[in-house]
């Protein structure tokens, strides 16, 4: 199951969630980015990666993430900052239904490389059939 609840630490001063490479994510973290200000009715993502794995966390607000391995599609709700979702390489991903206050944090296993992206769904299906 790609969804993981993380331990929340803290006291009266506030909460803390720690994430560590190869412990909380199944990879070394090489890139971190976040999405905010996304419109609720405009999907993001809509691509796959050849080798990059990702770990997604809605650190504020909420969104839906649909993962598609070419056989099965499943939609997950990210709505707590202690819930993470793993997206493996060669899995089509789409983020959608963003709340107005959503901040989606993404931890990636690879540095940005435009050649790692598969932007066309039909091309994605051809790659996974090989």
As annotated, the active-site residues are 47
Query: Is residue 26's pLDDT more than 60?
Result: yes
Quick: pLDDT tens for 34-72: 999 999 999 999 999 999 999 999 999 999 999 999 999
| pLDDT (mean) for 62-83 | 97
Query: What pLDDT was estimated at residue 1?
Result: 46
pLDDT at 121: 97
Cut 0.75: pTM above it: yes
Q: What percent of the chain has pLDDT over 70?
A: 99
Q: Which domains does the chain have, with CATH numbers?
A: 3-129 (2.60.120.10)
Residue 5 — very low, low, confident or very high, per pLDDT cuts 50/70/90? confident
Least confident of 14-18, 61-65, 91-95: 14-18
Q: Which carries the bigger pLDDT value, residue 9 or residue 36?
A: 36
Confidence (pLDDT) at 7:
87
Cβ atoms 82, 112 nearer than 8 A: no
Q: Distances from the Cα of 1 to the Cαs of 60, 74, 84, 101, 119, in angstroms? A: 22, 11, 11, 27, 25
3-state SS class at 11: strand
123: pLDDT strictly greater than 50: yes
Assess contact for 55 and 112: CB atoms under 8 A.
no
Tell me if 7 sits within 8 A of 78, measured CB to CB: no
Question: Which ranges constitute the DSSP H helices of the chain?
Answer: 121-129
């Amino acid at each position: 199951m790609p969804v993981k609840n993380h331990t929340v630490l803290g006291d009266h001063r506030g909460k803390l969630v720690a994430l560590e490479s190869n412990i909380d994510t199944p990879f070394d973290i090489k890139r971190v980015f976040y999405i905010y200000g996304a419109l609720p009715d405009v999907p993001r993502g809509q691509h796959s990666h050849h080798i990059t794995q990702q770990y997604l966390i809605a650190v504020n607000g909420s969104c839906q993430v649909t993962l598609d391995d070419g056989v099965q599609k499943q939609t997950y709700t990210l709505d707590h900052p202690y819930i993470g979702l793993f997206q493996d390489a060669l899995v089509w991903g789409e983020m959608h239904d963003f709340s107005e206050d959503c901040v989606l944090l993404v931890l990636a296993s690879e540095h940005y490389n435009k050649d790692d992206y598969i932007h066309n769904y039909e091309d994605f299906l051809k790659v996974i059939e090989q």
